Amino acid sequence: MTQHAEATVTAAEGHRADPAVTFAELYGSEPDGIWAAPGRVNLIGEYTDFNEGFVLPLALPHTAVAAVARRDDGLLRLHSTDVPGGVVVLRVDALAPHSGHGWAAYPAGVVWALREAGHPVTGADIALTSTVPTGAGLSSSAALEVVTALALNDLFELGLSAAELAVTGRRAENDFVGVPCGIMDQMASACCTEGHALHLDTRDLSLRQVPFDPAAQGLTLLVVDTRVTHALGDGAYAERRAGCEEGARLLGIPMLRDLPYAGLDAALATLAGAGADASVIRYVRHVVGDNHRVEQIIALLDAGDVRAAGPVLTEGHLSLRDDLRVSCPELDLVVETANAAGALGARMTGGGFGGSAVVLVETAAAGAVARAVSEAFAAAGHAAPGVFDAVPSAGAGRLR
Positions touching ligand ADP (CB under 6 A) are 64, 80, 82-83, 103, 106, 128, 130, 134-141, 144
Residue number with CB closer to ligand ADP (78 or 343): 78
Residue number with CB closer to ligand ADP (53 or 137): 137
Q: Which helix (H) or strand (E) holds 168?
A: helix 162-171
Residue number with CB closer to ligand ADP (13 or 246): 13
Find which of ligand ADP, Mg ion, none residue 27 binds, CB within 5 to 8 Å per kind. none
Q: Is 141 in the site for Mg ion (CB under 5 A)?
A: yes
Q: Is 22 in the site for Mg ion (CB under 5 A)?
A: no
**Amino acid identity, position 70:** R
Longest CA–CA span in the chain (Å) reads 69
User: What is the side-by-side strand order in the sheet with 196-201?
Assistant: 54-55, 196-201, 207-211
Q: Which stretch binds Mg ion (CB under 5 A): 11-19, 115-123, 141-149, 356-364?
A: 141-149
What is the smallest separation between the CB atom of 355 and ligand ADP, expressed in angstroms?
Answer: 7
Buried b / exposed e over 77-99, threshold 16 CB at 10 Å, is: bbbbebeeeeebebebeebeeee
What is the smallest separation between the CB atom of 314 and Mg ion, expressed in angstroms?
Answer: 25
What is the smallest separation between the CB atom of 238 and Mg ion, expressed in angstroms?
Answer: 16
260 exposure class (CB count in 10 Å sphere: 0-12, 13-18, 19+): exposed
CA atoms within 13 A on the CB side of 93: 5
Q: Which stretch binds Mg ion (CB under 5 A): 138-146, 150-158, 234-242, 282-290?
A: 138-146
CA atoms within 13 A on the CB side of 210: 27
Find which of ligand ADP, Mg ion, none residue 216 binds, CB within 5 to 8 Å per kind. none
What is the smallest separation between the CB atom of 284 and ligand ADP, expressed in angstroms?
Answer: 26
Beta bridge partners of 90: 76
Residue number with CB closer to ligand ADP (78 or 288): 78
CB 376 within 8 A of CB 227: no
Cα dihedral 141/146/147/148 (nearest 10): 90
Q: Is 51 in the site for Mg ion (CB under 5 A)?
A: no
Distance CA 243, CA 237 (A): 10
What is the smallest separation between the CB atom of 216 and ligand ADP, expressed in angstroms?
Answer: 28
Q: Which of 49, 125, 185, 389 is labelled catalytic?
A: 185
Residue number with CB closer to Mg ion (140 or 314): 140
Beta bridge partners of 398: 35
Does the annotation mark 93 as catalytic? no
Find which of Mg ion, ligand ADP, none residue 137 binds, CB within 5 to 8 Å per kind. ligand ADP
**Which sequence positions are flagged as catalytic?**
185
Query: Would you tell me which residues interact with Mg ion (CB under 5 A)?
Result: 141
